[in-house]
Amino acid sequence: MREFLLVAVLGFTACEAAPGPSDFSAVFDGTGGHWVDLTHSFSESTIYWPTDTAGFQLDELSYGVVEGGWFYASNAFSSVEHGGTHLDAPIHFAEGRLTADEIPLTGLIGPAAVVDVSRHATRDYLLTVEDLTMWEAENGMLPDGGILLVHTGWGARWGDRTEYLGTDMVGPEAVPELHFPGIGGEAASWLVANRGIVAVGIDTPSIDYGQSADFETHVILYTENISGFENVANLEALPETGSYVVALPMKIEGGSGGPLRIVAFVPREGS
């Protein structure tokens, strides 16, 4: 019953009439489960692609008591679209596909399937079709309208840029030196042909692995208007099944992506 209430709250299609607003309280008051923040904070230490050397900038405009007698704080910030925990809109690698503001909420909210490869993921590991089919053998089919989250364990390296990216270099010459896991092209093609997921997320800088020279997985998935969430945090806190993701990026008109606040609701056991 608790799952049905959550599905209704998040706006998914249900075959029965949605319950009244008072029934939704268990999702938000802590009695029905808990929320997990899957977002790295943005700061001067946020990790960006090596060619995006400006990083995240926060400039103080006001901080203190103003002439009228009240305290007032205000900042200006700047960032490229693709850095830190962020959205890849399909148009990022697929001409004519959805921009950041065009992605429907049904493409950003859904049941989560967490595929954990952290025990065997190496720095050049590619998620395989076998990883997906083995997961399904234990957990059932990946859900239609669901969000696939790939837990490689790389999120634990977030505080160390060199360990996370595989290089301490910056600029274009750093790109060939990148080393981190990703989603293999065969797995991406299998997902497109056989399953109805709406988005993929991963705890690395890219859904393609660091050594990719053609960004095959980006092209395969984004051509089908399947969005990507990169640099996702805290995936170790989620169960393989049963949680629900809400991923709301900055709604940039015409954008190819943008900063993302992504969270997951984990229902209480037995609910």
| Same domain flag for 208 and 245 | yes
pLDDT of residue 22: 52
SS (H, E, C) 136-148: HHHHCCCCCCCEE
CATH code, domain with 141: 3.50.30.50
| Same domain flag for 19 and 89 | no
Could you report the per-residue pLDDT of 21-56, keeping only the tens digit for each?
456 888 989 899 999 999 999 999 999 999 999 999
141 backbone dihedrals φ, ψ, rounded to 5°: -65, 145
In a domain, 220, yes or no: yes
| Same domain flag for 151 and 211 | yes
In a domain, 67, yes or no: no
In a domain, 66, yes or no: no
| Same domain flag for 14 and 86 | no
In a domain, 42, yes or no: yes
In a domain, 76, yes or no: no
Domain count, the chain: 2
To the query of whether residue 40 is one of the catalytic residues in this protein, the response is: no
Measured at the CA of 15, the angle between CA 11 and CA 20, to 5 degrees, comes to 55
| Same domain flag for 19 and 43 | no
pLDDT of residue 24: 81
In a domain, 5, yes or no: yes
| Same domain flag for 19 and 142 | no
The tokens describing 220, both together, are 């395969």
Burial of 188-209, coded b for 16+ CB within 10 Å and e otherwise, reads: bebbeeebebbbbbbbbbbbbb
- Listed residue (81, 208, 193, 88) closest to 150, CA to CA: 208
Domain interval for residue 25: 1-31
Q: How do beta strands 126-127 and 86-88 pair? A: unpaired
**Any idea what DSSP says for residue 165?**
H
| Same domain flag for 228 and 194 | yes
pLDDT of residue 12: 38
pLDDT of residue 176: 97
| Same domain flag for 106 and 211 | yes
pLDDT of residue 267: 96
pLDDT of residue 203: 98
| Same domain flag for 44 and 11 | no
| Same domain flag for 163 and 128 | yes
In a domain, 59, yes or no: no
| Same domain flag for 6 and 43 | no
**How many angstroms separate the Cα of 182 from the Cα of each of 2, 6, 79, 87?**
34, 31, 24, 16
Burial of 247-267, coded b for 16+ CB within 10 Å and e otherwise, reads: bebbebeebbbbbbebbbbbb
Out of 40, 82, 86, 92, pick the active-site residue: 92
> Biggest alpha carbon distance in the chain?
66
| Same domain flag for 44 and 156 | yes
Burial of 139 (0-12, 13-18, 19+ CB in 10 A): middle
100 backbone dihedrals φ, ψ, rounded to 5°: -55, -40
Identify the segments of the chain with pLDDT beneath 70.
1-23, 270-271
